[in-house]
Structure 1
Amino acid sequence: MFDTVAGLPVHVLIIHAVVVIAPLTALMAIWYAVRPASRASLRLPLAAGAVITGVSGLIAGASGEALEHRVRAADSADAAALALVHDHAEAGDLARILCLVLMVVTLAAVFYLLPATGPAPLGAAVAKVTASAVILASVAAMGSVIITGHTGAKAAWADQVTATNNVAPSGEGDG
């Protein structure tokens, strides 16, 4: 189901949503947690970003597994390339979980941390715990997405970069 679309791996298409939306949602969630005055204007965009983050993280994980099976089945995959794919898959498993955690914690915050117009509906202590959980989940998700993206880029491009290390880019080296 999440293997290919129009002849391209779904994974290479959906990861762009994760790489862009997850960090933006995480930063917005942190702002929402620490700036009560901004909550009224951020509630809907933050809830939408959280859902997109969680869903795109799930799709990226499922499509990544499909792509991993294709790579492992290819006779041309060498041990070094498979090791890079394995590292990326491991990082991706964690990123998928942390995108879901970010979604759940952020949606909880959207419903429990209301704009600064009155007392917190569940009390100040619960509001502080919720805000802290949002910050922790946001930092963890951002870090995980960055690490996963880095390992994925290495898996996709390391052999091309190595093969062209002695080739000057176009326009350079002309003296």
Structure 2
Amino acid sequence: MFEEFMGIPAHPLLLHAAVVFVPLLALLTIGYAFVALIRPHTRWVLGLLALAAPVSALLAKLSGDAFFERLRSANRVTPEFLPKLEAHQEFGDITLWATIGLAIVALALVRFVPPRAVATSTTDGESTTAGTGRALTLSLQVLSLVAAGVVLYYVFRTGDSGAKAVWEGQ
């Protein structure tokens, strides 16, 4: 199913969606977490990217697995080249899981961090819910930075290992 499209291996076609959507998710998650001014304008975009990026990473992974099996079953992979492809496959697996984690953080940001600054205070001047909200926002900001950094690192490593595998040949 994920092997080819109109006679062309599907993996080179599908991976471009992941190459676009996953880094966009990482950058917009960081922007949403730290720049309150853009939150009202990017809330739905971030939510949609949090759904599209993991799907695109999954499609890239599934098509890559099918492509790898096709090459292996046709004996088009030399034993010296096999470790490079397996390393690329492992990076792709990690990228998928990291993207899912980032998507969860992004959806938590959309759900729990208000698009506009909300000033809540009690009658005696203390703000109890604002303190809880600030702690949650701060936690999600830290998580978004870490998750986005991990995703961007693995997108780069996956792409780099795949490009080297293609251009260095068998």
Common fold: TM-score over 0.5: yes
Quote how far apart the aligned CAs of 1:122 are.
5.5
Q: Which 5+ residue runs of structure 1 have no aligned equivalent?
A: 161-175
Identity of aligned residues (%): 34
Separation in 1, partners of 2:154, 2:75:
30
Q: CA deviation at 1:50?
A: 1.7
Give 1:159 shift. 2.2
Aligned pairs for 1:79-94 (under 5 A) are 79-94=79-94
- Which of 121, 125, 128 matches 2:138? 128
2:170 is equivalent to residue 151 of structure 1: no
| Alignment gaps of 5+ in structure 2 | 120-129
Q: What residue is the counterpart of 1:15 in the other structure?
A: 15
Structure 1 residue runs of 4+, over 2 Å off?
119-122
Determine the structure 1 residue equivalent to 2:59. Answer: 59
The residue type paired with residue 36 of structure 1 is: A
- Give the letter aligned to residue 66 of structure 2: A
* 1:54 positional shift: 0.8
TM-score (norm 2): 0.87
Structure 1 length-normalised TM: 0.85
User: Using the alignment, how far apart are the partners of 2:67 and 2:76 within structure 1?
Assistant: 15
CA distance in 2, matches of 1:75, 1:35: 52
Q: Distance in 2 between matches of 1:128 and 1:82?
A: 44
CA distance in 1, matches of 2:73, 2:110: 44
- The two structures, once aligned, show a CA RMSD in angstroms of 1.7
Q: How many residues align?
A: 160
CA 1:100/1:155 → structure 2, altered by over 3 Å: closer, same or farther?
Answer: same
